[in-house]
Amino acid sequence: MNLIQTYQEPELVLLLQQRSQSAFGYLYDHYAGALHTVVVSIVGEDELANDVLQEVFVKIWRQIGSYDSTKGRLYTWMLNIARNAAIDMVRSRQFQNGKQNRELNEDVYGAAGSTEKKVEHIGLRKLVQGLKPEWRNLVELSYFEGYTQDEISKMMDIPLGTVKTRIRSGLQALRQLLQYD
C-alpha cells in the first residue's frame, strides 16, 4: 500500500532548506496549480504562464533559505515571488512591444477596459459573497487566505475530494458571473 506523504508547513520548510527533492516535489504538486492561476491572471497567456511558473519554482528552490515564517505563511511568500515574476514578465513584454511600435485597434482597448472596470466595479470579494455557502467558504480559504486544499480538508474535516469539487464548482460559478455581468 502506497502512503501519500503530507507535511506540516514548518516541517516542509525545514526539508526544503535541507534541499529535499521529495519535499520540493510535494511543494510543486500542492502549490503549482494555485500559483499558475495567479500567474496566468497577470500574464494572460497559458504558455507564457508556464514559463514564468518554472522560473518561480527555480527562485523558490534557490531562495528558500531567506523564507522567514515570522513574516508570513509559506504560501504567501511563494505567491509574492510568483506575482513579482509575472509582473516583471508583463513589464518586459510591454517594453518590447512598445519598442516595436505596434498599433492596436480601438476594440482591443475597449474590451480590456470594460473587463477591468467590471471586475474593479463589482469587486471579486463581493462576487464570492454571492456563491453558495459551501463553495464560498472554501474559495475564500483557498484564494484569499492562502490555505492549500489539503489544509482546508483537515481544518474543515471534509474529504479532500469534496474540497476540490466544491472549489472547482465555486470557481465555475464565479466564471459564469463574470461572463454575464
Contact assessment for residue 55 and residue 85, using Cβ atoms and an 8 Å cutoff: yes
CATH architecture of 104-181: Orthogonal Bundle (1.10)
Angle (CA) 72-75-81 rounded to 5° is 90
CATH topology for 7-103?
Rna Polymerase Sigma Factor; Chain: A (1.10.1740)
Would you tell me the crossing angle of helices 9-17 and 21-43 to the nearest 10 degrees?
A: 100
The pLDDT score that the predictor gives to residue 111 is 44
Contact assessment for residue 164 and residue 149, using Cβ atoms and an 8 Å cutoff: yes
List the chain domain ranges.
Answer: 7-103, 104-181
The pLDDT score that the predictor gives to residue 51 is 92
Q: What is the pLDDT along the chain (181 residues), one digit of tens a residue?
A: 455 678 888 898 999 999 999 899 999 998 999 999 888 888 888 888 999 999 999 999 999 999 988 888 998 899 999 998 988 888 876 546 644 544 444 444 444 444 443 344 446 777 787 888 888 888 877 876 677 888 888 877 889 999 899 988 988 888 877 766 4
H/E segment holding residue 82: helix 74-100
The pLDDT score that the predictor gives to residue 50 is 92
CA 5 – CA 36 distance, rounded (Å): 23
The pLDDT score that the predictor gives to residue 121 is 40
Whether the model pTM is above 0.75? no
